[in-house]
């Protein structure tokens, strides 16, 4: 079977329709990608992320001074974005850059979560619990065949993800001119509803990630794609966590 039969689409920038395109078979490139290997690497990335998040978290909760964690948030956010773009365009670098990416995301998430935790006690653990709850539910639904990843399903999720990305980009640009976007950032019922829709789209991206990983394993992708797939899953989980955190903060404001 030609390698191009691996092609699928996902809204995740780390796992997209070019992920398995033109890759050599494992018999040529080395050992094959396995599901267990991908799970192990995904777990390792989560551990690194959580470990990195502890430093800004403890710094802020001990001092209550946002200035202490602002550099960590900035460095983590920018570093994570740069590394994510590099990995997305050069999958062979995933084994070397995925761990630094997880560490950068940990710095940003740890600082951001601590700031909200100080304002809304208990919100961080709620967001973590809900994120892993959604992950477990989506994995179960996919495994049992409740969710079928068809071409139509992919097209809808990819389109919705692109629309959300465009919405955030427009909001960011307007923010530079001090123009607010109330339905996205306020605590109104409409804004909370929008957050729920975005969370649902982020969750559906997990199904696309699972399907793409399954395709890579079935077709014998090279072993380094385990790191790339683990990176892609982390991208989705970070997005899902941040959206859940935003949603909970809006609910707490009411």
In a domain, 118, yes or no: yes
| Model confidence pTM above 0.85 | yes
Q: Is position 7 within any domain?
A: no
Model confidence over 2-27: pLDDT tens digits? 333 333 334 555 555 455 555 555 54
Q: Taking Cα atoms as reference points, which of 212, 216, 205, 209 lies closest to residue 241?
A: 205
Structural domain total, the chain: 1
- Determine, yes or no, domain membership for 11: no
- Dist CA 203 CA 139 (whole Å): 10
Provide the residue range defining the domain that includes 142. Answer: 23-253
Contact 18, 232 (CB under 8 A): no
Q: Average model confidence (pLDDT) for the chain?
A: 87
Instruction: Answer yes or no: is 106 within a domain.
Output: yes
What SS3 class is residue 32?
Answer: strand
d(Cα 191, Cα 185) in Å, to the nearest integer?
7
Question: CA–CA separation, 219 vs 48, rounded Å?
Answer: 29
In a domain, 103, yes or no: yes
Return the closest-CA partner of residue 167 out of 185, 147, 145, 149. Answer: 185
pLDDT of residue 231: 96
Ranges of H-type helices in 120-150? 123-143
pLDDT of residue 4: 34
Residue 38 resides in a domain: yes
């Amino acid at each position: 079977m030609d390698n191009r039969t691996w092609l699928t689409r996902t809204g995740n920038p780390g796992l997209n329709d070019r992920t398995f395109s033109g890759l050599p078979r494992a018999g040529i490139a080395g050992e094959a990608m396995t599901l267990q290997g991908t799970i192990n690497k995904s777990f390792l990335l989560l551990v690194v992320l959580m470990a990195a998040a502890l430093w800004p978290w403890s710094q802020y909760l001990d001092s209550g001074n946002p200035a202490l964690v602002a550099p960590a948030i900035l460095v983590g956010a920018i570093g994570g974005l740069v590394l994510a773009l590099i990995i997305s365009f050069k999958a062979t670098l995933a084994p070397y850059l995925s761990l630094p990416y997880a560490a950068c995301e940990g710095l940003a998430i740890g600082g951001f979560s601590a700031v909200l935790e100080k304002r809304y006690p208990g919100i961080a653990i709620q967001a973590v619990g809900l994120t892993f709850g959604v992950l477990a539910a989506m994995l179960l639904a996919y495994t049992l065949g409740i969710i079928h990843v068809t071409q139509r399903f992919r097209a809808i999720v990819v389109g919705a993800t692109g629309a959300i990305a465009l919405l955030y980009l427009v909001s960011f640009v307007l923010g530079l001119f001090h123009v607010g976007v109330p339905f996205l950032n306020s605590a109104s019922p409409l804004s909370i509803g929008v957050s729920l829709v975005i969370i649902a789209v982020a969750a559906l991206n997990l199904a696309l990630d699972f399907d793409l990983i399954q395709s890579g394993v079935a077709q014998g992708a090279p072993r380094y794609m385990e790191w790339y797939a683990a990176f892609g899953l982390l991208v989705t989980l970070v997005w899902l966590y941040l959206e859940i955190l935003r949603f909970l903060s809006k609910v707490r404001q009411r």
